């Protein structure tokens, strides 16, 4: 599966670029980069150096950064989008769109978001230190978070029963399942028989393989049979609402707890996020004392223009 489809990636790139290209544009035309830099692109008086370009890539969300690293061609698309947006923004300025009050309000919102993000990164991120003792204490106090439930790896052959089938159909299908079981007991290959006979489209082409699963994932009758079998053991036909199953358990994993080494990085990230949130909450309370804040949430309950629900034409459930 691809990390991003071409279209969704382009949309994400476009939105990311709108952010930093727009901020570039908030500067005057004297923004032109240092002539000593490696000029990567220029639109009118706006210049983008290779160094600035790489800096902007580093400011993108991790997923986008990873996609760009894996596919260098996407950098070219990224640069093309910067040129496109800068061209359009230049024309918008020539049309005095940046002087429109509604647009200025949106610019202010973007500026506030960028400034807030940068301030928090510089004020908070570098101040959070997580010690090994804190990680160990968290692990001891939250061991239940790191338990692995019992699981089995199994494969099956499903002989499906049509909905509303009579007793005769169930009897005939069970008989067919027992015939297939005899083939398996006589040494025929499970995977080949699954491909030939199974009615489960999700697993038949994989030889009936269901991978590992824990309790609560399968219907009760199937689950009960699978967890009662030993590795290498084959079940009798198991009846469920879907039909009859032949189940072979290949491997079992007992319930257990992950070691501290296995979850150390996860705990560090959890503690770091918690501490950063605490610092941010304290900072906001401090700022509330410095700058007056008034909020009237009662107004949210009032109808706003266009808030009235339109009559639905979709069929309704009785």
Spell out the domain ranges in the chain. Answer: 6-98, 132-143+258-290, 150-254
Quote the pLDDT of residue 30. 36
The CATH fold of domain 150-254: Chitinase A; domain 3 (3.10.50)
For helices 73-94 and 62-70, the axis angle rounded to 10 degrees is 120
Q: Measuring CA to CA, how many Å separate 115 from each of 17, 40, 112, 231?
A: 17, 26, 5, 59
At 21-75, the pLDDT tens digits run: 444 444 333 344 445 568 889 998 888 888 888 888 887 778 888 888 888 788 8
Rounded CA-CA distance 35/55 in Å is: 17
Q: Would you say 195 and 180 are in contact if contact means Cβ atoms under 8 Å apart?
A: no
Using DSSP, state whether 257 is helix, strand or coil. strand
Would you state the pLDDT for residue 28?
Answer: 32
For residue 189, give both structure tokens. Answer: 């290959």
Quote the CA–CA distance of 263 and 144 in Å, as a whole number: 12
**Taking the chain, what is the end-to-end CA distance rounded to the nearest angstrom?**
40
Answer whether 41's CB lies under 8 Å from 105's CB.
Answer: no
Q: How far is CA 32 from the centre of its chain?
A: 38
Give buried/exposed letters for 149-178 (b at 16+ CB in 10 A, else e): eebbbbbbbbbebeeeeeeeeeeebbeebe
| Predicted pLDDT at 53 | 86
Q: What pLDDT was estimated at residue 61?
A: 79
Contact 251, 151 (CB under 8 A): no
Q: What is the pLDDT of residue 303?
A: 63
**Per-residue pLDDT at 198:** 96
pLDDT averages per 10-residue partition of the chain, 318 residues: 36 47 40 60 89 83 82 85 91 94 94 91 86 96 92 96 93 96 96 96 95 94 96 96 96 93 95 94 94 90 58 38
């Amino acid at each position: 599966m691809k990390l991003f489809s071409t279209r969704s990636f382009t949309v994400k790139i476009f939105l990311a670029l709108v952010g930093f290209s727009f901020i570039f544009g908030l500067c005057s035309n004297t923004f032109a980069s240092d002539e000593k830099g490696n000029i990567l692109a220029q639109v009118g008086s706006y210049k983008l150096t290779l160094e600035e370009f790489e800096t902007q890539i580093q400011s993108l969300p991790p997923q986008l950064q990873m996609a760009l690293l894996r596919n260098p061609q996407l950098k070219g698309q990224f640069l093309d989008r910067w040129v496109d947006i800068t061209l359009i923004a230049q024309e918008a300025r020539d049309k005095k769109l940046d002087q429109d009050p509604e647009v200025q309000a949106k610019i202010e919102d973007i500026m506030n978001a960028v400034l807030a993000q940068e301030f928090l990164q510089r004020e908070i991120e570098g101040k959070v230190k997580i010690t090994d003792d804190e990680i160990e204490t968290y692990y001891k106090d939250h061991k239940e978070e790191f338990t692995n439930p019992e699981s089995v790896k199994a494969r099956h052959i499903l002989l499906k029963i049509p909905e509303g089938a009579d007793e005769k159909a169930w009897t005939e299908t069970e008989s067919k399942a027992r015939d297939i079981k005899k083939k398996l007991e006589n040494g025929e290959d499970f995977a080949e028989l699954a491909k030939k006979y199974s009615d489960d489209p999700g697993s038949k082409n994989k030889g009936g393989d269901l991978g590992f699963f824990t309790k609560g994932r399968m219907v009760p009758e199937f689950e009960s049979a699978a967890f009662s079998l030993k590795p290498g053991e084959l079940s009798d036909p198991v009846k469920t609402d879907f039909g009859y199953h032949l189940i072979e358990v290949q491997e079992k994993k007992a319930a257990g707890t992950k070691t501290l080494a296995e979850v150390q990085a996860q705990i560090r990230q959890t503690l770091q996020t918690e501490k950063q949130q605490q610092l941010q909450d304290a900072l906001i309370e401090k700022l509330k004392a410095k700058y007056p804040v008034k909020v009237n949430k009662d107004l949210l309950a009032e109808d706003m223009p266009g808030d009235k629900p339109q009559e639905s034409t979709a069929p309704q459930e009785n």
